[in-house]
Structures are given as C-alpha cells and as structure tokens.
Structure 1
Amino acid sequence: MNAQVYLNGYPNARTIEAENVNLGFIMEFGNLETSSMRAALAELPVLLASAPHRLMFFAGATAIIGSMLWWACVLGSGVYGAVFPASPVPAGWAHSIFTQYGMLPFFMFGFLLTVFPRWMGQPALGKRHYVPVFIGVFGGYLLSHAGLLDRKPLLLAGLVMMLAGWTYALFVLGGILVHNGAKDRTALSCFSALVLGFLGLAAFTAFAFGASPELALVAIKTGTFGLLLPIYFTVCHRMLPFFSASAIGPRYQMFKPAWSLPVFWVLVLAHLGLELARLPQWLWLADAPLMAFFLTHWIRWQPWKCMRPGLLAVLHVAASWLPIAFGLYALQSLLLFFDSNIFLGRMPVHALTIGFFGSMLVAMVTRVTQGHSGRPLEMGRIPWLTFVLLQIVVLIRLFAEVAQDASGWLAIAAFAWLVAFLPWVLRSLWIFLTPRIDGNPG
C-alpha cells in the first residue's frame, strides 16, 4: 500500500477501500494478461505451421546461430585452450555437413514447398505435406547437434531423422513434379539437386555408422556442388531477372535463356566428378568455363540498372560472388597444374559459401520475409547491417588462409558471422512468430 494513504501513521478507511478496489482491478488485469499470454503461446505452433516458408525459415534462422555458435566454440576452444565436448566425428567435417545439409536447406525447403505448386499451377500444399518435413529435418538437426557434444547415439539418431524428413520432402515435391509431367525446367533442376543432396546426406550417415571415411568426403563435395550451387543458381536464373524487371520496368531486358540450366549442369557435374576423382589440377577445365558462364549471366542481368531499390541491389551484389569464387577455383587449379608453390587453401570454397550462399541468403530471404509478412518490399536497417557485415566476414575468412595466425583468424571469422547475423536472425524470428501485419493468413 502506498505510504501517502497514511494519516498520522494510520491508514484512512476510504483510502483503504479505494486501494482494495485498485488492487482487485490490478489482479484481474494481471490474470487477463497471463491468460492472453498463455493463449498466444498456445497459438504459436498453429501460427508457425500456417505456411511452409514460415515454419522452415524459422528453423533456418535458428540454425544460422546454432551451427555457427557450435563451430565458433570448437575453434575458440582450440585457440584459447578452453574445454569443449569433443565431436564424435571430425569437427571440420561436421561443420561442412550441417551447414550444407542442415542450416541452408531449411530455407530451400521453405521456398520450394511454397513455390513448387505455384510454378506448376497446382493447389498450395497443406500442413500434412510440410509439417512432417519440418519435424524430420529440424528435429534431426537439433538431435544431431546435441550429439556433436560427445553423444554419438544422438548424432546417429539425428541423421536418420534428417534423412526421413528429406525423404518425405522428395515424395511431396516429386509428386507435384510428376503431376506436371516434369515440364518445368526450374522445378526439375531443383528437384534433381535435392535428390543429390539426399544421396550426400545418406553417404555421411553411412560414414557416421562406421562406413569408409571416403563417404564423408563425397558428402561434403556433393553438398556444395550437387545440392547448394545448383539450387541457388537455378532459383537466381528464374527469380533474379523477374525481380529486376518488376522493379525497373520496360527498360530492363530479361536474360533467362533456355540453354543456361543444361550448360550449367554439365559444367557443375564435371567439376564434381573431378573433385571426387581427386584431380584438382584439372578442375580448371570446368572452373574456367564456369567463371565465364557466371560472369556472362551477371553482366547480362545488368546490375548497373539494379542498384535501386536496395532489396534488388543486394541480389545483384550477392550474385557477383559467383564469378569471383570460380575465378579463384580456376586460379588454384592452374597453380596446381603448373606445380606452383602458391596455394589458396579454402579461399575459393569460402568465397562461394559465405560470399555467394550467405549473401544471397540474406538478400533472398529478406525479400520473401518482407513480402509474405505484409511488409513493404524494402531493405531495412537491420538487413542492410547484416549484409554489409557479412561482406566483411567473407574478407576476414579469405584473409585467414594467408594469415600467420590462421587458427586465430578462423575463430574471429566464426564469431564475426554470429555478430553479423544475430540482429537479422532476431528480427526474422520475431516476424515468423507474429501474424502478418496486413491481417492476411499465411
């Protein structure tokens, strides 16, 4: 009770009555507020499951921090001598696998489970189609990461769950593709990459159960060049010219030739084949043409016309990392071909994975999130901050390959990733956990 209600040390009777009324109102309001909060929490699963992109993007945003936090702790413990639970499989391999088959595919599944029916003129998918994918892949991902803390049975169980979720996704998306007669080349290309991704994840699962370590290396290379790069480029090939034309208008000439995807698949499979055959000195035969291929597309996409609005500019800036990455791949292969003592290390792969995959992730997911939450199609301050900081992260990671204290710079790059992404992830999670601001469903 407030001290002001006392007169000469004793409470006034009317004031006591008023205080009791106020106290009752406050308690009633508090009960209502608690009930509303409980009701809101109870509705969260329904809200999350209201659309495939909302559910799977939520998983992906969570994994962006989860995967890199684990990796940063692994690197930091090695540099600073801290104690951290040992991974049941080589930590570097686990990092490659769970970023390629866990973190990034959540966004892919969310996007493809949304657009596959639209691309092929079929009804939108229901919860029974995409919720099991979320349970399997995300549940398995979480279980696997618990297993990376020196709990191998959990790791094995998690990998099996991820494969089960992936299998169901192929069943759902494959059914749409079959119903369409596989006429949509974009969908066929994405589905083919998901099949290769399934085989890569199965190969790593077999290794984790005791098969040859060669299977783990096959899985890592397949994840980069059989799964991620094909889906990323295929989606860019379809969507980037469309977004550009929508924003720029008639003066923008779309470049989306029918020959792009077949030529791309021939070259990327040639690269993957040379990687698996362990012939890095011959990779330039595929990588030099790939560099020219990506540079041609980037130029024909006319980025100089697309620097406004910002949401379009970041797509073109992200795409510029493709020719840069394959220029580095071709250079490294030629250095090996001529027996040079210069070695670029993992510069090329991180220009591709952090530079292209990471930047395009921020650009594309921000656009989809804005549009599907009823918000304006614009690049806000937080997405801009993350995008700019991520470009710095790429440069730090590339520098780590030539730095004297390489392990220290690797740890710095990992923690810098967390700093760059955390504001964007928190903002994204808030959007995924709240209704659309325009009141529409989804």
Structure 2
Amino acid sequence: MSTAASRRAYRGPALFSFGFRPFYLMGALWSALVVPLWLWSYLAGGPGMLTRDWHVHEMLFGFLAAVIAGFLTTAVPNWTGRMPIIGAPLAQLAGLWLAGRVAMLFQASIGPVAAGVIDSLFLMVFAGVIWREVLAGRNWRNLPVCGLVTALAVGNIAFHLHGVTWASALGERLALGVAILLLALIGGRITPSFTRNWLKARAASAQPAVFGPIDQAALALTGVAVASWALFPDAVFSGALLALAGLANLVRLARWSGWASRAEALVWVLHLGYGWLGLSLLLLGASILDPAIPRTAGIHALTAGAVGVMTLAVMTRSTRGHSGRDLRADAATTAVYVAINAAAVARVAAPFTGLWQQTLLIISAALWILAFAGFAASYGPMLILPRPLRA
C-alpha cells in the first residue's frame, strides 16, 4: 500500500493520522509551559527541580525533539514511499515522548537514573524507526538525517550523566550542533524550494539560485565548525570556523531571493529563520574570539532565533498544507511570526544591556509564550480535527 493509500485507509482519531499532528501540538504546548516555569524558578526561586539544566534539557530534548519527530514522521514516508507511522504506533511513540516529560518534571521523586532511562527511550526508539524506514526505502540521500537524529539521542544520554561534567556539557553541545546542521540541511532545502514555487506561481522574474558549489561549501564548513565546537568549545580555531560558517550561510541565504517573497509571510519567515542561523554562528564564533561578547547571545540567537523561528515556520506551513488549508498566512499566523522574532531579538539583546537584562528576559519569555501558545490556540483545531472535505 502506498503512503497516500495507507493514510486514506486510516480510520482512527485524526490526531494520529499524521506524525506532525501530535508532536507539533505537544511540542508547542510544552514549549509555552517550560519557559514560564524556568523563569519563575530563575527569578523567584520556584521548585528546586526547575534548574537551569532542566530548562536546557526540556527545550532541546523535549520541545525541539518533538518538532523534529513531527517533521520526520511526516516527511520520511514521502521520501521513501513506505507506509507512514500512523495510528497505534504513532500514539505509542508520542506516549514515549510524554513519559519523558513527566519523568523529567518529577525526577526529584523518582531519581535521576530512572528519569534518565525513561527520558532516553523516546529518542532511541525514534532514531531506530527513522533508520529502519530510510534504509528499507533505500533513501541514501537522507542518511545524514538519520545520523543527526542518532547524535541527538546520544547527546541526550550524555546529558543525563550528571556525575560527569564534561559528558553533560558535550551532550548539550551535541544537541545544539544537531539543531544547527538540521537547519542548514533541511532549512537549506525547503527555503529556496518553497520560495521558488511561490515566485513561479506569480511569474516573478526573481528566482532563488539552484543548489551548487556555494551551498556545498557552506554545508561542509558548517559541519566542520560544529564538530570542532562540540569537541573544542573554547579553541580559537573553533571560534574562527563558526564565524566563517555564519558568513557562508548568510551568503547562501542572500542567493535565495528572499526579498522578492516579502508579500507572503509563510515564505519570508523561512528566510528570517535561516538568517538567525547565520547570525547565531557569527555570534558564537565571535564570543570565543572576543570574551567581551557574551556566549549566551550566540546560544540564544540559535535557540530563540533560528530554532524558534524556523520551527514555527515549518509547523505552520506543514499544518496548513497537510490539513487542506491555503498556503497563505492569516493574521494569527503573522502575529505568531512577529512575536517569535521579537522574542529572539529581546533575548539576544538582554546580556548586552546591563540593568535592563532582567526586563528583557521577561519580555522575551512573554513573547515566546505568546508565539507558541498562539500557535497551539490557532492551529490546535487543525491538528486535532479531521481534514475538512473539499467542496
């Protein structure tokens, strides 16, 4: 049975008819909850389990992992032509993710070892599923994606080795590195592709440059820079490589005719997300080369900027497309895009502002919550309810 036929034959709850449905919804809701919980702990001394490590873990291995799972469980069947993961298997996979969130929230009660084991199951199983599908479908082009999902699973296990400081730190950098490479690889495919489709439909003269040596060089340089930073985070050569990778990705972005798509938010937001990636690499590299530049500015240009903007860009577009809606941003969608970009600007600016830092942290958190809670509110019905019948 083909991918399309298996989906048409599915008769269960709509929520488990596509991988993006449960994972985008759970990821958005969890993201909108983690940030205020962490801010409460950071500013007002909330519950002891809401540590900095919990915040980092849940944003990287909870929220980001959910969005990656939603995207890949939807995309991989289209890449391979094999049966999609839907129905009971999808519900079980989503249940593993949810069990990890509960375990991490109550790790003080069940113990860090039990919490780590329960939490690690999701990414290990998910990585196995992706490997199985890509190999069985002989989809060799996407083997790097399998490797990155595996690296995320390994990083999660390393993060849980709390007694080994270097391992936990390495796990965090691995997750950030996976985010960078997935954005460069997948974002570098869909941004020019969707832009080209939109411009062609309007007979526009501007067109994104086709994939070529500049793109290959940028991807290779980004991979080397990420590997160097993961292993040697404070080395000058790592900083130089990251800064060069940032410039290379901005050059790559400049060739995709983003300005010509400014009339459609669903398209231009992809360019903004990729722009945040280039900026984050520049800031990360600069913070290693010049200690006066806060490392946290580069980290949050990546997490709040590149990850936050690009995940919402992908979540909104794929939800609209797969649920039968027009590929056009409505007012709620545009508001979500504005909120997430403003949240990223405030968060990146915060460490440079001295006395205003705490105020900007609160503003950034409020805008982040608005963006992801806004997505859940406006897109939740599309994710939960069946695709509307065509007239």
Residue deviations 1:115-136 (CA, integer Å, cap 9, x gap): 1121123333343543332111
Of 306, 309, 312, which aligns to 1:362?
Answer: 312
Contact kept, 8 Å, 1:311 with 1:363, in 2: the verdict is yes
In the TM superposition, residue 261 of structure 1 has moved relative to its aligned partner by 5.6
Contact kept, 8 Å, 1:237 with 1:256, in 2: the verdict is no
2:31 corresponds to which letter in structure 1? I
In the TM superposition, residue 292 of structure 1 has moved relative to its aligned partner by 2.4
1:159 corresponds to which letter in structure 2? G
Higher mean alpha-carbon deviation, 190-199 vs 256-265, is at: 256-265
Higher mean alpha-carbon deviation, 244-253 vs 300-309, is at: 244-253
Distance in 2, matches of 1:422 and 1:51, equals: 21
Structure 2 equivalent of residue 5 of structure 1: none
1:154/1:246 Cα in 2 relative to 1: closer, same or farther (>3 Å)?
farther
1:238 corresponds to which letter in structure 2? R
Distance in 1, matches of 2:217 and 2:150, equals: 17
- Structure 1: give runs of 5+ residues left out of the alignment: 1-43, 79-83, 337-341
Q: State the number of aligned residues.
A: 376
Distance in 2, matches of 1:232 and 1:380, equals: 25
Structure 1 equivalent of residue 3 of structure 2: none
Structure 1 residue ranges, 4+ long, deviating more than 6 angstroms after superposition: none
| Higher gyration radius (CA) | 1
SS of match in other structure, 1:401:
helix
Distance in 2, matches of 1:230 and 1:271, equals: 8
In the alignment, structure 1 residue 433 sits paired with structure 2 residue 384:
yes
Distance in 2, matches of 1:436 and 1:182, equals: 29
Distance in 1, matches of 2:122 and 2:285, equals: 36
In the alignment, structure 1 residue 74 sits paired with structure 2 residue 41:
yes
In the alignment, structure 1 residue 176 sits paired with structure 2 residue 104:
no
Structure 1 equivalent of residue 231 of structure 2: 276
1:181/1:433 Cα in 2 relative to 1: closer, same or farther (>3 Å)?
closer
Of 393, 396, 416, which aligns to 2:367?
Answer: 416
Q: How does 1:71-150 map to 2 (within 5 A)?
A: 71-78=38-45, 84-87=46-49, 91-147=51-107
Aligned-residue CA RMSD (Å): 2.5
User: TM-score scaled to structure 2, two decimals?
Assistant: 0.88
- Structure 2: give runs of 5+ residues left out of the alignment: 1-10
Residue deviations 1:82-102 (CA, integer Å, cap 9, x gap): xx21027xx222211110111
Contact kept, 8 Å, 1:76 with 1:411, in 2: the verdict is no
Distance in 1, matches of 2:100 and 2:91, equals: 14
Structure 2 equivalent of residue 403 of structure 1: 353
SS of match in other structure, 1:436:
coil
SS of match in other structure, 1:346:
helix
Q: How does 1:161-310 map to 2 (within 5 A)?
A: 161-184=118-141, 187-207=142-162, 211-225=163-177, 227-249=178-200, 251=205, 252-257=207-212, 260=215, 264-265=219-220, 267-310=222-265
Distance in 1, matches of 2:361 and 2:12, equals: 38
Of 46, 58, 61, which aligns to 2:28?
Answer: 61
Distance in 1, matches of 2:113 and 2:328, equals: 42
Residue deviations 1:16-64 (CA, integer Å, cap 9, x gap): xxxxxxxxxxxxxxxxxxxxxxxxxxxx982211221112112112212
In the TM superposition, residue 205 of structure 1 has moved relative to its aligned partner by 2.1
In the alignment, structure 1 residue 52 sits paired with structure 2 residue 19:
yes
1:429 corresponds to which letter in structure 2? G
Distance in 1, matches of 2:329 and 2:31, equals: 20
1:265/1:348 Cα in 2 relative to 1: closer, same or farther (>3 Å)?
same
In the TM superposition, residue 432 of structure 1 has moved relative to its aligned partner by 1.6
1:255 corresponds to which letter in structure 2? V
Contact kept, 8 Å, 2:124 with 2:150, in 1: the verdict is no
Q: How does 1:370-381 map to 2 (within 5 A)?
A: 370-381=320-331
Structure 2 equivalent of residue 347 of structure 1: 297
Contact kept, 8 Å, 2:273 with 2:305, in 1: the verdict is yes
Distance in 2, matches of 1:153 and 1:400, equals: 36
Higher mean alpha-carbon deviation, 249-258 vs 192-201, is at: 249-258
Residue deviations 1:323-351 (CA, integer Å, cap 9, x gap): 22222223223324xxxxx2324111111
1:111/1:278 Cα in 2 relative to 1: closer, same or farther (>3 Å)?
closer
Contact kept, 8 Å, 2:155 with 2:171, in 1: the verdict is yes
Distance in 2, matches of 1:265 and 1:138, equals: 35
SS of match in other structure, 1:206:
coil
Distance in 2, matches of 1:105 and 1:200, equals: 12
Distance in 2, matches of 1:312 and 1:261, equals: 23
In the TM superposition, residue 367 of structure 1 has moved relative to its aligned partner by 0.5
2:352 corresponds to which letter in structure 1? V
1:123/1:262 Cα in 2 relative to 1: closer, same or farther (>3 Å)?
farther
User: TM-score scaled to structure 1, two decimals?
Assistant: 0.78
